[in-house]
Amino acid sequence: MAHDALASISSFAEFYPFYLGEHRHRTCRRLHFLGSTLALLCLGTLLVTGQPLWLLAGLLCGYGFAWIGHFGFEKNKPASFRRPLWSFMGDWRMYWEIWTGRIPF
């Protein structure tokens, strides 16, 4: 499905298969997983320390690693540019599915 087909998607249930198709390269998925894990650690550190810079660090980790995966390995543009909420939801669903073995790491 091309990025212009993304405009015709009207639900997260329709979006998620597209999202997975944009993450076929194993290194891209691994970078997403690493970035999401680091983002969670930053969030935890923010909650413990109360230092707001950890929020910035978490965002940089989460999006930075993902974007390296897309631009460097998938050779596509992240869906977060066009569908930020569904992309965020897709990232966490994919993260869970990697943890549970439904998606290969």
**10 to 13, 15, 18, 40, 80: CA distances (angstroms):** 9, 8, 12, 29, 15
Position 1 in a domain: no
Position 5 in a domain: no
Q: What is the pTM of this model?
A: 0.90
Position 85 in a domain: yes
Model confidence over 68-84: pLDDT tens digits?
Answer: 999 999 999 998 888 99
Number of domains the chain contains: 1
Position 12 in a domain: no
Model confidence over 11-58: pLDDT tens digits?
Answer: 999 999 999 999 999 999 999 999 999 999 999 999 999 999 999 999
